[in-house]
Chains A and B, each alone.
Chain A
Amino acid sequence: MPLSAYLGLAALVFTIGLFGVLTRKNAVGILLGIELMLNAVNINLVAFARARADLAGLVFTLFTIAITVAEVAVGLAIVIVIFRVRRTIEADHLDLLRG
């Protein structure tokens, strides 16, 4: 398959994830959308790594995966703390910083 096929697939998954981030009300649902977007970016990196025979794309993907896992762990810990304090994780109800 040509490089552009993989890039198009990644663009489609990225926009689906963006739709999820924009429309979900639950904080965990928003995190799931972010996961989809990061996966689409990883597909791009690996596709370019093969098309250009350049290892940097693969190394970058490995680091992206590691950082994403750390982000999910901290993000979900924050969600649990918010739930413990406010008894809700609906993003619309979390407006403590609204002026």
Chain B
Amino acid sequence: MTEIVGFWVAAVVLVAASLAVVLTPNLFHAVLWLAVALVATGGVFLLLDSPFLFAVQLLLYAGGVVTIVVFAIMLTERLVGASIRQTSRFVFNGAVIAAAMFVGIGGFLLQAGTPPPAAATGDQLRDLGRALVGPYAVTLQLVGVLLVVALLGAVYFARTED
């Protein structure tokens, strides 16, 4: 019962915030709506029994990504004023393509069977930690390399010219 109510609350907030992200003319407001959508996604993770991913989502997405995007907007536009307004183009064509994509995915979901429900395991967080340093240890190292490369790349791009 709690999950049903929580799911519909999270779903309505998530869809409304997502629509606001793509429709609001003010880019700064769009970023704030994106933060709402990311927190709602974290709520969906919570409903799916993944509190650890909820915490990661809040820390990395709602905290980190939104901050970087706000910085980028401040550097490329004036934060207040008319210049931040943005228009959209090909709205009708975009809506048709997006609707066609939704119909395609929805049709696939309707004709696909549901997998048999599996029994939940015990301590999910401990299993996740063991998996990260066990079977997925090499992948974890590669992600570390990727983060270093991304850091170097961002610094290289953003450096001053001298």
Contact = CB atoms under 8 A, between A and B. Distances in A.
- B interface, how many residues as a size bin? 35 or more
Interface string B11-39: 10011001101100001001100100110
Contact of A28 (B76, B95, B124, B143): B76
A27 B24 CA distance: 15
Q: Main SS of the interface on chain B?
A: helix
Nearest to B3: A1
Interface string B131-158: 1100010010001001101110110011
Interface in A42-88: 42-43, 46-47, 49-56, 58-59, 61-63, 65-74, 76-81, 83
A73 B154 contact: yes
Contacts of B71: 76
B56 to A, nearest CB: 6
A36 B15 CA distance: 10
Given A39-B37, A80-B76, A33 B105 contact: no
Contact of B121 (A14, A53, A74): A53
Interface string B52-65: 11001100110011
Given A3-B114, A6-B44, A80-B72, A25 B99 contact: no
Contact of B50 (A5, A8, A15, A50): A50
B157 A36 contact: no
B80 interface: no
Interface of B: 3-4, 7, 11, 14-15, 18-19, 21-22, 27, 30-31, 34, 37-38, 41, 44-45, 47-50, 52-53, 56-57, 60-61, 64-65, 68-69, 71-73, 75-76, 86-91, 93-95, 97-99, 101-102, 105-106, 109, 114-115, 117-121, 124, 127-128, 131-132, 136, 139, 143, 146-147, 149-151, 153-154, 157-158
